[in-house]
Amino acid sequence: MRLHPDGWPFIALAMALNTFLFVLAGWYGLVLLPITLWCIAFFRDPDRNIPDGEGLVVSPADGVLLPVAQASPPDELGMGPAPRTRLSIFMNVFNVHVNRMPAGGTVLKLAYRPGRFVNASFDKASEHNERMSIRLALNGGRELAVVQIAGLVARRIRCDLREGEMVRRGARFGIIRFGSRLDVYLPDGAEVAVQDGARVKAGETVLARLA
């Protein structure tokens, strides 16, 4: 099973504690085994079947789709105040946390902003929480934004993108530990293809279609 590189220090620490407790207390050391197994599962990075087709926007994360909203992209991206359709995916601590690009294009701007760590399922998390915002110019000329947002127990956002980089739909681009949220701000005219509460998979589930 493929694992994200960020996970190895945590997995090694959990295994070391497990081994130490087993040596110290015998079979009672197995009490930490579920934590070690969860740590391995958290950082799993499975392959995904990326859908083909023009104008598709796929989910950047595994999780549950929160209610669709109209909201302005983060100010730091410079995309203007006009509201756009915002699709938000909430990841709990049992979801795959490797993030994937929702569409192909060119990374125009990256903007990190520190903030709070309220529950990522709350609407105010998009505005107040720590976040990494990405402005993406799509291959057809339009733009969308994707935002990594820290959650209640998330304290580390990793984004491997660079400004000016060309990316493919479904390509891996980062991870958030532990439990978090991703927002996608769609271009005008996009047709949402999923319903509130739907369970989505990063790189596989089609969230929207561009006209």
Which DSSP letter does residue 40 get?
Answer: H
Cβ atoms of 187 and 146 within 8 Å: the answer is: no
Question: What 8-state DSSP symbol labels residue 93?
Answer: T
Angle, helices 8-25 vs 33-42, to 10°: value is 170
pTM score: 0.84
pLDDT along the chain (211 residues), means of 10: 79 81 75 79 88 94 95 94 95 89 96 74 69 92 93 75 96 85 94 94 96 79
Question: Which of 88, 126, 133, 180 is flagged as catalytic?
Answer: 180
- The pLDDT assigned to 182 comes to 94
User: Is-catalytic flag, 180?
Assistant: yes
Give the pLDDT confidence score for residue 119 in this predicted structure. Answer: 59
Identify the CATH number of the domain defined by range 56-209. 2.70.70
Q: Whole-angstrom Cα distance, residue 27 to residue 122?
A: 42
- Provide the terminal-to-terminal Cα distance of the chain, rounded to the nearest Å: 38
What per-residue confidence (pLDDT) applies to 123?
Answer: 65
Per-residue three-class SS string for 1-39: CCECHHHHHHHHHHHHHHHHHHHHHHHHHHHHHHHHHHH
User: CA angle at residue 29 from 27 to 33, to 5 degrees?
Assistant: 110
Other beta carbons less than 10 A from residue 86's beta carbon = 21
What pLDDT was estimated at residue 116?
66
Report yes or no: 102 and 87 within 8 Å, Cβ to Cβ: no
Q: What's residue 176's pLDDT?
A: 86
Unique residue bearing structure tokens 């197994």: 37
Helix (H, G, I), strand (E, B) or coil at 199: strand
Q: What are 34's strand-pairing partners?
A: none
Q: What's the pLDDT at 120?
A: 56
